[in-house]
Amino acid sequence: MPKRLKDIDAGDRAIRLKAFMWAFFVGAFGGIPIGLALSRLMGFHPLLGLVLGIGLGFGGTYYGSLFIANRAARAAEIIYNPSGESTPRRREYSHAAALAIQGKHEDAAAAYEAHVTEFPEDPEPYFQLAWLCLDHLGRPEEAIHWYARARDEARPTDAQALIATQEIANIYVRRLRTPRKAIPELALLCERFPGTPAAEMAQQELQEMRALLAREREEGVDFTDEFLQRFGRDGDSPGD
């Protein structure tokens, strides 16, 4: 895996540089009269008073500037994000995406998996891993694993959770030819997303499946074969 670049906060460094410049030009020179006044008031040697004054002026200006900058940043955060719970800016996984575009799918999957560890609440790298496993690496079972983790372990939106559930059902039917395993996912669609087109389609498919399961019990007809023959191996899958 490529070595990660050191994370440098350029904004923080710029603030500190500005504070240093203010401290040097304003604090240091402003400290000269303070130091001379201290030497006369306290009876110090003028040179000692000068050193103390410059030090106090420099330190007070530097740390005072940082304090003001931090308070201003905190005030802006309170104004624009008072609850602290607004949706964070979408992360860009540019290195992993570039590897995928270049056709380096194994490397891209490894990069996205590292991002899952780094940002476990962001569903994006889970979805990208599922897509890579399904469409480029030939690992549909792993795709199900990542879709399920995106839905159950990350913090997806309702739309993302719905898509993940649909995709799991689709993979069971279209890729793995195991429609029986899709039944819990279809039931979950109906339970968690009532009133949506996806839930309505899932409800219809569940009714068909229940009828086929009844035939299997009563007539001995194989549920999987009957389902795939009726709905077609390459047709739309449940919940599509």
**Can you list the domains of the chain with their CATH numbers?**
10-80 (no CATH), 94-231 (1.25.40.10)
User: Tokens 């480029």 label which residue?
Assistant: 136
Q: 150, 146, 155: which is closest to 87 by C-alpha?
A: 155
Rounded (10°) angle between helices 124-135 and 94-101: 10
Three-state secondary-structure class, residue 106: helix
CB-based contacts of 124: which residues, under 8 Å, 6+ apart?
Answer: 90, 91, 93
Q: Where are the alpha helices (DSSP H) in the chain?
A: 10-22, 29-42, 46-80, 94-101, 105-118, 124-135, 140-152, 158-170, 179-192, 197-219, 223-231
**Structure token digits, residue 35:** 């130091």
Report the pLDDT value the prediction gives residue 7, as an integer from 0 to 100. Answer: 37
User: Tokens 């906060």 label which residue?
Assistant: 9
Q: How far apart are the first and last CA of the chain?
A: 37
pTM, to two decimals: 0.60
Report the pLDDT value the prediction gives residue 1, as an integer from 0 to 100. Answer: 37
Report the pLDDT value the prediction gives residue 20, as an integer from 0 to 100. Answer: 62
Cβ-contact 237, 170 below 8 angstroms: yes
Report the pLDDT value the prediction gives residue 91, as an integer from 0 to 100. Answer: 78
**Structure token digits, residue 174:** 């279209």
Q: Walk along the chain (240 residues) and give the pLDDT tens digit of each residue.
A: 333 333 334 445 555 666 566 556 665 566 566 666 656 676 666 666 666 666 666 566 656 655 565 555 454 444 334 444 444 456 778 899 999 999 999 999 999 999 999 999 999 999 999 999 999 999 999 999 999 999 999 999 999 999 999 999 999 999 999 999 999 999 999 999 999 999 999 999 999 999 999 999 999 889 999 888 876 544 444 444
d(CA 23, CA 20): 5
d(CA 15, CA 10): 9
